[in-house]
């Protein structure tokens, strides 16, 4: 039990250590330039291909969901056939 406690204490000291932290560079000004650039694109598509894919997927799912809901609304509004 003592060895387990020692191992856990050693692991916890390593993860809390400030020497192992990675330094992140501040890229806010790069993103500001990208989004403020006047290139005719709406802001939700200025991120590139990933944004376009996400927008297209969301639009497709929205259209599919709306059609699906309208179809079931139509089916539900029809009277049932008697047996």
Phi, psi of 52 (to 5 degrees): -65, -45
**pTM given for the model:** 0.58
Query: What are the pLDDT digits (tens) for 27-82?
Result: 899 889 988 999 899 988 898 899 999 999 999 999 999 999 999 999 999 988 88
Assigned domain for 19 exists = no
DSSP 8-state code for residue 1: -
For Cα atoms 25, 13, 15, give the angle at the middle one, nearest 5 degrees: 35
Number of domains into which the chain is organized: 1
Assigned domain for 63 exists = yes
Alpha-helical runs (H) found in the chain: 2-16, 28-36, 49-77
Assigned domain for 57 exists = yes
* Domain enclosing residue 64, as ranges: 47-78
Assigned domain for 14 exists = no
Assigned domain for 40 exists = no
Which single residue is written with the structure tokens 């790069």? 30
Assigned domain for 67 exists = yes
């Amino acid at each position: 039990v003592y060895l387990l406690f020692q191992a856990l204490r050693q692991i916890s000291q390593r993860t809390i250590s400030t020497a192992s932290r990675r330094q992140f560079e501040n890229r806010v000004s790069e993103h500001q330039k990208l989004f403020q650039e006047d290139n005719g694109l709406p802001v939700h598509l200025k991120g590139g291909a990933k944004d376009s894919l996400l927008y297209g997927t969301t639009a497709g799912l929205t259209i599919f969901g709306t059609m699906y809901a309208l179809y079931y609304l139509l089916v539900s509004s029809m009277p049932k056939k008697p047996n």
